[in-house]
Chain A
Amino acid sequence: MATGATLSTASRARAATKARTPLVTMASVRGVAARIVPPLVVLAGFLLLWEVLCSSPTAGLPPPSRVVTEAWDIIVDPFYDNGGTDKGLFWHISASLQRVALGFSLAVIAGVLLGTLVGQSEWAMRGLDPIFQVLRTIPPLAWLPLSLAAFRDGQPSAIFVIFITSIWPIIINTAVGIRNIPQDYRNVSAVIRLNPIEFFYKIMLPSAAPYIFTGLRIGVGLSWLAIVAAEMLIGGVGIGFFIWDAWNSSHISEIIVALVYVGLIGFVLDRLVAGVGVLVTRGTSAA
């Protein structure tokens, strides 16, 4: 067949080019450099500016050099544990991440199911959507007193705050994804008579996956925002409490180090969800 012939010629040509090119080329090194150098330059400029602005002894915030010397203990040893809440940053962050993991996982399960219901049923959408639209505007921390009253304990309350914060974008995006399933796919599953459960797993989830993952990404970002604030109030071990504790002991440098960690971990969480999304939705978006 004609197309087969051209295909095999093309792949042979591609194989030939591959054989000739070395693994690391000058071009690829230059490409990586072009992406890494600008942020490094900007970062260095920012640190320099900060150093200059805060170098006077009357400045409210310490310059970066003092941050490093003052907070050196917690930077070099994130794993110490002196009992109680006097732990290294690793333990605080790990406690926060566990809360996020639990709350976010529950939100994913409930959010995808509710989103499917709202996306699939006209009646459910009419009934639930107005309620969702109002509830989702409530700031995360406003839920905290209520959940403390209900659970009478800090740990489940924090998890509930994560849950209630991250569930809305998951519900809304899942619903949009479900509503956008092409009629063709529904027809195919009707002809082969998939039952509702098979339809959910084999058609709905993969078809709506790009939308669902957009919701998950927004959700995980929001939960990381919420957990820091919630932990400041509930206490115990956690990065939010660590920051609040440092503020109460006037350890401004430790706060700055913690903020850097919070930012980096938020970034990693976002990338992690996005990466899983790319892996799962391979081929889905390209029809």
Chain B
Amino acid sequence: MAHLSLSQVGISFRRGGKTSEVLRDVNLDIAKGEFVSIIGHSGCGKSTVLNIVAGLLKASTGGVLLDGKEVNAPGPDRAVVFQNHSLLPWLTVRENVALAVDKVLKGKKSRTERAEWIEHNLALVNMMHAADKRPAEISGGMKQRVGIARALAMEPTVLLMDEPFGALDALTRAHLQDQLMEIQTRLRNTVIMITHDVDEAVLLSDRIVMMTNGPSATIGEILPVPLPRPRRRLDLVEDTTYVHARAAVLEFLYARHAKPAMAA
């Protein structure tokens, strides 16, 4: 049985008597330790898929099973790295991670173990030097690293990332992608990442889930990326597997499922 499985997931929103179906028949099985990214045009409901897995939204039809148990509420076993970092501005970097760790791992780890675990996770994302700063005092890339540390520190079964690097500049983004790959090599987490960046999807993923356009969006195609790990950005530029995978995603997004609104 799959580690995480979405079966027949659909969701409709009702607004002012009008019902609009955003997702229909989303079926996806994810193995333990797999890195899956979901790509699609904006507005196709890819973040909605993630929010359903996170438990922040309830599916109208179908459901999500994690290790055979149905997901129906948010929980630390499915930690989320939010698009806009979502750090609490009145807490320092360390306190932000501590808030999650002290709540989630209470009873599992002693007070000193928790303190060490907080430091360990800050070190994992190279944020020890700014542990006592507040979010307003650090850069966007650093905030996102803290967001990742906070999510990882919850020891999640599945790590959910909602366009984690979407708001960052290209250089910072590349740097964080490398760090994420490095962390992933060590921890072997199961990851679902939402992205709209083709290179990011190919570089990081074991499989790329491509979504059709909404309304009633669903999975159009799933592309395996059989590149060996560890992957190095520079080596991949001319790698045939990489180039082909990239071309396949681009073809899907811009030829077969081009966004209709983009013509305007």
Which residues, 235 to 287 on A, are CB-close (under 8 Å) to B?
281-287
Given contacts A3-B139, A203-B88, A283-B90, contact A192 B129 (CB under 8 A): no
| B residues less than 8 Å from A282 (CB atoms) | 90
Q: Chain A residues with Cβ under 8 A from B104's Cβ?
A: 192-193
A178 to chain B, nearest CB (A): 15
Nearest chain B CB to A146 CB, angstrom units: 41
Which residues of A in the span 156-191 have a Cβ within 8 Å of any Cβ on B? 182, 184-185, 187-188, 190-191
Evaluate contact between A283 and B75: CB separation under 8 angstroms. no
B154–A192 touching, CB < 8 Å:
yes
A206 touches B90 (CB 8 A): yes
> Is residue B196 within 8 Å, beta carbon to beta carbon, of the partner chain?
no
Sample of 8 A–B contacts (CB below 8 Å): A3-B139, A185-B88, A187-B80, A190-B73, A191-B56, A192-B154, A284-B90, A286-B136
Are A190 and B90 in contact, CB atoms less than 8 angstroms apart?
no
A residues 193-214 near B (Cβ < 8 Å) are: 193-194, 198, 202-203, 206-207, 209
A194 to B106, CA, bound (A): 12
Contact partner of B76 (CB less than 8 A), chosen from A3, A193, A198, A286, is A193
Q: In whole Å, how far is A206's beta carbon from the nearest beta carbon of chain B?
A: 5
Task: Name the CB-closest residue of A to B102.
Answer: A192
Alpha-carbon distance between A202 and B100 when the two chains are bound, in angstroms: 11
* Docked-complex contact A187 and B90, CB < 8 angstroms: no
Q: A residues within 8 A CB of B103?
A: 192-194, 198
Contacts of B56 in A (CB 8 A): 187, 190-191
In the assembled complex, how far is the CB of residue A130 from the closest CB belonging to chain B, in whole angstroms?
A: 24
User: Contacts A192-B103, A193-B75 given: A185-B90 contact, CB under 8 Å?
Assistant: no
Find chain B residues with CB under 8 A from A194 CB: 103
Q: Is A24 an interface residue (CB 8 A)?
A: no
Beyond A191-B79, A206-B88, 6 extra complex contacts between A and B, CB < 8 Å? A1-B126, A182-B86, A190-B56, A191-B56, A191-B75, A191-B76
Known: A3-B139, A4-B129, A286-B136. A190 touches B86 (CB 8 A): no
The main secondary structure of chain B at its interface with chain A is: loop
Known contacts A187-B56, A187-B80, A283-B136; is-contact A192 B100 (Cβ 8 Å):
yes
For residue A184, which residues in chain B have a CB less than 8 angstroms away from its CB?
Answer: 82, 84, 86
Residues of B within 8 Å of A187, CB to CB, are 54, 56, 74, 80, 82, 86
User: 6 tightest A-B contacts by CB?
Assistant: A184-B86, A190-B74, A286-B136, A284-B90, A206-B90, A283-B134
Considering the chains assembled together, what is the distance between the CA atoms of A1 and B78 in angstroms? Answer: 31
- Docked complex: A44-74 residues within 8 A CB-CB of B: none
| Structural contact, A191 and B90, CB atoms closer than 8 A | no
Check: B224 CB closer than 8 A to any chain A CB.
Answer: no
Which of A1, A188, A190 meets B88, CB within 8 Å?
A: A188
Residue count of chain A within 8 Å CB distance of chain B: 26
Q: Given A203-B88, A206-B88, A283-B89, A191–B136 Cβ distance below 8 Å?
A: no
Chain A residues close to B by CB (< 8 Å) = 1, 3-4, 182, 184-185, 187-188, 190-194, 198, 202-203, 206-207, 209, 281-287
B138 to A, closest residue via Cβ: A3
Minimum CB–CB distance for B262 against chain A, Å: 28
Chain A CB within 10 Å — which of B54, B74, B75, B80 has the most?
Answer: B74
CA distance A65 to B126 in the complex (A): 69
CB distance from A63 to the nearest CB of B (A): 52
Q: Report how far A187 CA is from B80 CA in the complex, Å.
A: 9
Alpha-carbon gap, A30 to B180, bound state (A): 53
Chain A residues near B126 (CB, 8 Å)? 1
Tell me the smallest distance from the CB of B60 to a CB of chain A, in Å.
Answer: 19
Cross-chain contact B89 with A286 (CB below 8 angstroms): yes
CB pair B84–A191 under 8 Å, yes or no, is no
By beta carbon, the residue of chain B nearest A188 is B86
B residues 107-146 touching A (CB-CB < 8 Å)? 126, 129, 134-136, 139, 142
Are B89 and A191 neighbours in the complex by a CB distance under 8 Å?
no
B243 at the interface (CB under 8 A from A): no
